[in-house]
Amino acid sequence: MRPVIRPALRAVAVACCAATVLLAAGPGAASADPAPRPATAPPGATRVPVEVPGPEHGGEAGSGSVRVPSQGRAKPALRLSEAERMADGAVTKMIDNGPVADRLDIVVVGDGYTAAELDRFHTDAKEKWAELSAVEPYASYRNLFNVWTVDAVSRESGVSGDPDPATVRDTALGSYFWCEQIERLLCVDQPKVDGYVAKAPAADLVIVLANSAKYGGAGYNERSATLGYEGISTASAGHPKSGQVAVHETGHSLGKLADEYFYPGVPEYEHYTGSEPAESNTSTLAAGPMAGQRSKWYRWLGETSPDGGTVGAYEGGGYYVSGLYRPTDASIMRVLGKPFNLPGVEAMIAGFHQHAHLVTPLAPTGRTLRLRDAAKVAVPRLTGPDGRQPVVRWYLDGREQKRFEGRTEVHVGELWLFDLRAHRLTVTAEDRTPSVRDPEIARTLRSTAEWQVRL
């Protein structure tokens, strides 16, 4: 979780960001003092840390974290009709790549879509998944993902705060712009989101799409204590850039990456004096000491990175102008629309494999396989540019059976068993991607299934 800006500092940062938006908008823009949002949280609502997206017209990927109410209230909800109740909560498996136990499951929920607009929601969900899965390493690992949609029927079309703070709409998830008086911060009622997410068979990551063309989003990057998903990314479905906010936020939730932007001119964030950060993409070490200590992203130093330039140690990151270094100058953890840098790609692949497995047994592992049976598995195909696929290997009682390498099905009769005792047949699939250089991460890119076999 990224640090939460203290009240005094938050006021400075928010004011700075508001000025950035107004300068980008040009002459005739509204006053720098934003109007209050149209609703307040109900009494007793908890407050949670949420990341603010960066300005629409370029600049940094995010604008720090603020604490926002977990619940929002636009106005009293109207009663759904019988037809609306029938449509509300319907679950569709939009992308099916295998059982939930072996795939990373993304749940997409829409807000501000009436029953008559659910077809548009499904189209928007497909478009946002296409945008997300076009970014590396999602593009290479897209077959590790399932994507579910959950229909949330709103009484009114659109969301609160669009086009202005005075606009209030009755929606299923209570989404609203101008959260904490920040125009582009798109907040939701988390308990309502969870109510819909719980309808899906599994959830590792949640995306909320608002029925709006207004730029905005947010990152709720704390792991859900009740449902176990890694975080919520909100985005306006109709804006061409807001999907990049969701990509950036998954860098936090799946890759456990730090923000690589910083706050010039804010005294409390001028220089970092703390201990070495836990995140893999920020460090107190410059390139020389990093290489000497064989720490953080030292294995990537000097390599050309997808986001442009060479991996090194660029001062500024984790919100601090100095004292912390980032791997490259302009990855998506700093600038929207850019790709992940090489250390970021490695961290994302590690995150994917935390939730997805390369081996899905198609023959039951809970019973003994006999002579006429076969051990069979499904191994997802990777779609990377180098064409590299997982390496599949088979073992009998711990001894590798090299003649079966690459196969996904082995018959018991092929094992040449010469006694009546039970034997152990194991299959492994290993992702040997060159995008991972850390041996500790490489050890996690391996999945296994095992059977008892006998004559």
Q: What is the CATH number of domain 7-253?
A: 3.40.390.10
Q: What is the CATH number of domain 358-453?
A: 2.60.40
- What is residue 385's predicted lDDT score, i.e. its pLDDT? 87
In this model, does residue 64 exceed pLDDT 80?
no
Give strand pairing partners of 271.
322
Residue linked to tokens 């928007």 = 124
The 10s digit of each residue's pLDDT in 78-114 is 678 899 999 999 999 999 999 999 999 999 999 999 9
In this model, does residue 342 exceed pLDDT 70?
yes
CATH 3.40.390.10 boundaries in the chain: 7-253
- What is residue 59's predicted lDDT score, i.e. its pLDDT? 57
- What is residue 70's predicted lDDT score, i.e. its pLDDT? 80
- What is residue 27's predicted lDDT score, i.e. its pLDDT? 29
Q: Which residue has the higher pLDDT, 73 or 48?
A: 48
0.75 exceeded by pTM: yes
Mapping DSSP to helix (H, G, I), strand (E, B) and coil, where does residue 21 land? helix
Closest alpha carbon to 378 in 140, 106, 99: 99
The stretch 193-197 carries a mean pLDDT of 97
The 10s digit of each residue's pLDDT in 363-398 is 999 899 999 999 999 999 999 888 899 999 999 999
Q: What are the backbone angles phi and psi of residue 251, rounded to the nearest 5°?
A: -60, -35
Other Cβ atoms less than 10 A from the Cβ of 17: the count is: 24
Residue-wise DSSP of 302-369: TPBPTTSSB-S-EEEETBEEEEEEESSSS-TTTBTTPPP-HHHHHHHHHHHHHH--S-EESS-SSS-B
